[in-house]
Chains A and B, each alone.
Chain A
Amino acid sequence: MLFFRRKSTLASGNGAPAEAPSVEARSVWRNARLRLYRNKAAMGSLIILGLIIVLAIIGPSLSPHEYDAVYWDRIQMGPDFANQHWFGTDGNGRDLFVRTLYGARVSMAVGLLATFVSMVIGVVYGATAGYFGGRVDNLMMRFVDILYTLPFMFFVIMLMVVFGRNIFLIFVALGAVEWLTMARIVRGQTLAIKRREFIEAAHAIGVSNLTIIFRHIIPNVLGPVIVYATLTIPQVILIESFLSFLGLGVQEPLTSWGVLISEGANVMEVAPWMLLFPAAFLATTLFCFNFIGDGLRDALDPKDR
Chain B
Amino acid sequence: MTRYILKRLLGAIPLMLIVIAVAFFMMRIAPGGPFDSERALPPEIEQNIKAAYDLDKPLVQQFGIYLWKVMHGDFGPSIKIRDFSVAELIASGAPASIQLGLSAILLALMVGVTLGTLSALRQNSAADYAVMGVAMTGIVIPNFVMAPLLSLVVGVYWELLPTSGWGSGELKYKVLPIIALSLPQIAYISRLTRGSMLEVLNSNFVRTARAKGLRDHLVVIRHALKAGLLPVVSYLGPATAAVTTGSVVIETIFAVPGIGTYFIKAALNRDYPLVMGVVIVYGALIITLNLLVDVLYGLLDPKLRSNR
Contacts and interface: CB of A to CB of B under 8 A. Distances in A.
A258 B235 contact: no
B202 A303 contact: yes
Contacts of B145: 261, 264-265, 268, 275, 279
Contacts of B292: none
B27 A158 contact: yes
Is chain B's interface secondary structure helix, strand, loop, or mixed overall?
helix
Contacts of A287: 133, 136, 140
B117 interface: no
Interface stretch (B52-60, B89-97, B276-284): B276-284
B29 A5 contact: no
A4 B123 CA distance: 26
Interface string A147-158: 011111110011
Given A5-B237, A8-B235, A262 B144 contact: yes
Contact of B149 (A7, A9, A153, A268): A268
B188 interface: yes
A283 interface: yes
A40 interface: yes
B264 A246 contact: yes
A8 B140 contact: no
A82 interface: no
B18 interface: yes
B144 A242 contact: yes
B155 interface: no
B129 A241 contact: no
B75 interface: no
Interface stretch (A125-133, A206-214, A293-301): A293-301
B144 A3 contact: no
Contact of A151 (B124, B144, B245): B245
Given A242-B142, A305-B198, A154 B263 contact: yes
A238 B142 contact: yes
Contacts of A13: 199
Interface in B6-54: 15-16, 18-19, 22-23, 26-27, 29-32
B19 A150 contact: yes
A290 interface: yes
B199 A282 contact: no
A220 B182 CA distance: 36
Interface residues of B, number: 64
Nearest to A264: B145
A157 B235 contact: no
B15 to A, nearest CB: 6
A240 to B, nearest CB: 10
Interface stretch (B79-87, B189-197, B216-224): B189-197
Contacts of A297: 195
Contacts of A261: 142, 144-145
Contact of A286 (B15, B19, B140, B148): B140
Contacts of B31: 161-162
A253 B227 CA distance: 51
Contacts of A152: 242
A23 interface: no
B195 A294 contact: yes
B110 interface: no
Contacts of A4: 234
A246 B132 CA distance: 29
A148 B123 contact: no
Nearest to A161: B30
Contacts of B304: 2
A2 to B, nearest CB: 6
A7 B249 CA distance: 25
Interface in B106-164: 123-124, 128-129, 132-133, 136, 139-142, 144-145, 148-149, 152
Contacts of A73: none
5 contacts: A9-B231, A146-B18, A245-B144, A245-B249, A265-B148
The 8 closest A-B pairs by CB, nearest first: A286-B140, A283-B140, A149-B283, A245-B144, A161-B30, A151-B282, A9-B231, A41-B129
Interface of B: 15-16, 18-19, 22-23, 26-27, 29-32, 123-124, 128-129, 132-133, 136, 139-142, 144-145, 148-149, 152, 188, 191-192, 194-196, 198-199, 202-203, 230-231, 234-235, 237-238, 242, 245, 248-249, 263-264, 267-268, 275, 278-279, 282-283, 286-287, 290, 294, 297-298, 304
